[in-house]
Amino acid sequence: MKNIFLSIGATVLLASCGSMTSSSASKVGKAQPSLASTKWELADNVKGKIPTLNIEGEKINGNAGCNNYFGTAKVDPANGNFSAGQLGSTRMACDNMSVEQNFMDMVGKANKYVVSGNTLELYKDNLLLLKFNKAQ
């Protein structure tokens, strides 16, 4: 379990370092496309079920890798602000609980977003936390 958590943390750290030189990082805090009625899948390979993020109005939901989750979201396309709150989830125990906990923590910490084509990136200020691909 520790190895999974460490590998996810290292992946996120490396992804965030790499992204700071990308054109996406320069778009943080600027106007973005609306996220209304969109569905996303985590871009990173993780063991087990791929975490998802579904945005419908001011509600979010999805699967965090094991459990289904739900909550509220405030999304402001004018300046790319994103915040998730009142997060809750089902309570099944699974093998990849560290993946799920890490995913939920990062969704809760995100305060900015950038959309580039079919990719959604969630940031904490200028630090990339999560990267998603548009779900089909």
pLDDT along the chain (136 residues), means of 10: 46 44 73 96 90 97 96 97 97 88 97 97 97 94
- CATH architecture observed for domain 2-134: Beta Barrel (2.40)
Q: Give SS3 for 106.
A: helix
Element (H, E) at 124: strand 119-124
The Cβ-side half-sphere exposure at 10, using a 13 Å CA radius, reads 6
Residue ranges of domains in the chain: 2-134
pLDDT at position 69: 98
Q: What is the pLDDT at residue 23?
A: 58
Cα end-to-end span (Å), the chain: 31
SS3 for 42?
strand
